[in-house]
Structure 1
């Protein structure tokens, strides 16, 4: 197996041990940072606030469940030094992973477009409108390209660990205290708590919370592959992401403002411009991660092209789209992500941890004769359809049933069950054929 020896290009081949340098603390910092975002505040506002204790429980449970899945997916990468898209190959096949590559690039470009739009609008507000939105989008595009060229190791060790994430944590605490003390629009806490307009049930709220860590599943191993130790990377990822995901969903819940631009104005007016500036700085890391992983995903199809050319290309696409496509139906975008990636990674994790029991050689990820696994795609299809039927965004929405169980849990459960049943039947058929062949030879 060819290992990556030249750190000037992060390809899909396994990393050499000398590049596995990130500690558990580094991953705590990285995933704390990636769990922070203005869009997370917007997502939190969709959660029903009629019952505060129930809403907070949904946020805590959803963050824990989603972060465990995120850390488990990252562990495949840190175990074998491989990027995320390659980690899907044993479960879906080499050619099957090409379809997942396209799917992943679309969602990552979608996230990048959202993030660049938010960054540019936030900077426009921070500058009191003196610098145009379109100019800011180009400025952030250049910054993102520079971040990507520096690569994840320098960004994590030099930028996030030493400075950025700690300032963001401080600003987050300031913002949360201001909201609790009624520092927005002179409203008291009770008014804030009851300001939400969503009628989502507990399980619908759970779906929205889990959707955020699910959106990071297709790229977590792109960074966790640099881990010194898989166990430390797992713990750092789980703890870091679950904490900040909880904090920002709670802020969104209490703030009760779903319009992202109204959120930006509220932060600028009531939480001081400094807090908005800090969040702008941290939001760049999220776009960097999406663009960098878009390049890693594309290299699954064509590994020879240098990732630096790809990040320039994908950043330009994100900047152009941010100037053309308005942000709307963000809630629906989150639920679509859940419908696609909840069953997908349920199958990937089941294949790795249950069927293979985590015992797989790195060569298995690069086998060319494992082209496509029909059992995985069929299970993925059934799980996605289940999610869409039970989701509030679906015209086929089964309301009473979905209110009781939501979409994520049944989607994951049915994907795993169908996948395991099909794999068991395939194993039995192969065993019978082997016995039949043995009997024939004896005769």
Structure 2
């Protein structure tokens, strides 16, 4: 095959910089960062996948959610049951999603082109990226609060820096936030391999720290814990709340099940995905749940207080040296979570929007800058914004997932013509109608409307926790039954020999 770069050396005509010729690659759809990962360049092992989950599961936000279950009336066994159910379900979803990335080698914005079309894919990519940018800022703010508390413990005079406020954040808060912001931008500037290495190094420290914290609390409570907070649910109501807790945990990972291919595109094999997911999801999530019930049950036994954050417990450690180590571990953890869950997705979204202007590094700076200028501490401290804006965007992820999965597994039966994901030729597999698949749009709009209504309208509060599932199932069903051009290739074609366009 003669590529565009070859043509420039042989005297043959090369593709126009803004248009695809014949079925050639278009510069509006291609960049080196969006190109399929070649087999020889894949370096994510089973341990790499495991450490991704080892960090992400133990995030401060997840601890706040899980510890809150104890306050809501779920007992120790209820919390363990909820996480067991959720982890088994997530293991299945994430394994299916991971296989897609391993086979095609493409990131999520490109993967979305299969179902939504080469232009229609911008919609799901922007939804996923928009949610991630907001949470990047919020998670950085949460890590900054831990750093500020640590700095005050080491240098008490810094407490005076909290007496002045600029744009809703104290001077000490700004120093902590900007310091962590710069560190994350620097790591991302070195690409996905730097993120992998950071995550692999952070995971053992995080797991050891959280286990040590749980053991310390257990010993402090005389080797026993309260089994509930005195307001435990019973009967059918108990099982309903267990199922709702499990569903909400799955919803938390509704973002990751979409763009897991951003990571598994670099997986060495499906076996790496299987091993990493098995240890990282069911095993690690039950380990997480065990730590949660010990922390919450021990604290309640000690003083009748329901703790709502792991950082609250860390700050009660009487030994300054151990306090510093635990606080640093939480900061390292939050940075790792941000890099994986809230940085990679918007970076690929921005590169997909502007492939000729942005690369991974520049898109990382743009994404982080947006996460800063939205003043995320104000978002986090405004329940209306978090519940309605981020909750509404989150509800849209279910329908996107349902369409992508139904298209790949049920309609196409895993057959993908990877080079056609990068061409605008009207006869290409994923051209559909002017680059947009009407079938996907027809399934997404009503399913998304239903999911958002269920998630946000108070009348549906009883089933709001299931909005992601309802949206995903409804969208998948509509996508399968609606008429439309299937665009199924006769056989698989990988992306090893994609023609690189000249610029």
1:310 aligns with 2:363: yes
Distance 1:410 1:269, change over 3 A: same
Q: Is contact 1:211–1:334 with CA below 8 Å preserved after alignment?
A: no
CA distance in 1: counterparts of 2:445 and 2:79, whole angstroms: 30
- 2:109 equivalent in structure 1: 85
* Gaps in structure 1 of 5+ consecutive residues: 4-8, 429-443
CA displacement, residues 235-280 of structure 1 (integer Å, 9 cap, x when unaligned):
41353144444444554566558986x5423222149522232121
Between the aligned partners of 2:32 and 2:227, the Cα distance in structure 1 is 50
What is residue 173 of structure 1 aligned with on the other side?
211
CA contact 2:188–2:194 (8 Å) conserved in 1: no
CA contact (8 A) 2:444 2:475 kept: yes
Deviation of 1:212 (Å):
2.0
CA shift at 1:138, angstroms?
A: 0.9
Residue 60 of structure 2 is aligned to residue 42 of structure 1:
no
Q: Which moved more, 1:405-414 or 1:92-101?
A: 405-414
Q: How far apart, CA to CA, are the structure 1 residues paired with 2:350 and 2:389? A: 22
- Is the 8 Å Cα contact of residues 49 and 196 (structure 1) preserved in structure 2? yes
Contact residue 307 and residue 313 of structure 2 kept, 8 A: no
Structure 1, residues 25-73: CA drift from partner, whole Å, max 9, x if none? 2211223222220000111134343344333212221122124322322
Greater displacement, 58-67 / 112-121 = 58-67
Equivalent pairs, count: 413
Tell me, yes or no, if structure 1 residue 189 matches structure 2 residue 200: no
8 Å CA contact 2:124, 2:400 repeated in 1: no
Please show how residues 171-320 of structure 1 align to structure 2 within 5 Å.
171-180=209-218, 183=221, 189-190=225-226, 193-194=229-230, 201-248=241-288, 251-252=291-292, 255=295, 263-270=310-317, 272-273=322-323, 274-289=325-340, 290-304=342-356, 305-320=358-373
Larger Rg: 2
SS in 2 for 1:309: helix
| Corresponding position: 1:413 with 2:453 | no
Distance in 2 separating the partners of 1:382 and 1:352: 21
Report if the CA contact (8 A) 1:62-1:210 is conserved: yes
The question of 1:32 aligning with 2:85 is answered no
Q: Distance in 2 between matches of 1:394 and 1:187?
A: 44
Counterpart in the other structure of 1:351:
407
Paired residues of 1:25 and 1:236 also in contact (CA < 8 A): yes
Secondary structure of 1:228 counterpart: coil
For the residues of structure 2 that align with 1:222 and 1:110, how far apart are their CA atoms?
A: 19
Q: Is the 8 A contact 1:32 1:240 kept in 2?
A: yes
Contact 1:211 1:335 in 2 (8 A): no
- Distance in 1 of aligned mates of 2:133 and 2:485: 39
Match of 1:148 among 180, 188, 191: 188
- The residue aligned with 1:72 is 96
User: Does structure 2 retain, via aligned residues, the 8 Å contact 1:91–1:376?
Assistant: yes
TM-score (norm 1): 0.82
Q: 1:267 to 1:152 in 2, by over 3 A?
A: same
1:356 Cα deviation after fit = 0.9
CA displacement, residues 66-90 of structure 1 (integer Å, 9 cap, x when unaligned): 2432232222111111011111111
Supply the distance in 1 between the matched residues of 2:120 and 2:295 (Cα, whole angstroms).
Answer: 42
Measure, in 2, the Cα distance between the counterparts of 1:193 and 1:250. Answer: 16
Q: Contact 2:112/2:404 (CA < 8 Å) preserved in 1?
A: yes
Deviations 1:307-336 (A, max 9, x none): 211211222222342355443435767754
1:269/1:326 CA distance change after superposition, 3 Å: same
Change (3 A) 1:35 1:149: same
Inter-partner Cα distance in structure 2 for 1:258 and 1:92: 46
Compared CA separation, residues 259 and 376, structure 1 to 2 (3 A): farther
Listed as ranges, the gaps of 5+ residues in structure 2 are 5-30, 159-171, 297-304, 425-430, 487-503
Could you tell me how far apart the structure 1 residues matched to 2:88 and 2:329 are?
Answer: 26
Work out the CA distance in 2 between the residues paired with 1:292 and 1:390: 29
C-alpha separation in 1, matches of 2:377 and 2:98: 33
After superposition, the Cα gap between the structure-2 partners of 1:118 and 1:298, relative to the gap in structure 1 and judged at 3 Å, is same
Match of 2:414, SS state, is coil
Higher helix share: 1
CA contact (8 A) 1:212 1:334 kept: no
Aligned-residue CA RMSD in angstroms?
Answer: 3.4
- Aligned to 1:372, the other structure's residue is in SS state coil
C-alpha spacing 1:44/1:382, structure 2 compared with 1 (3 Å): farther
Bigger mean CA deviation after superposition, 242-251 or 98-107? 242-251
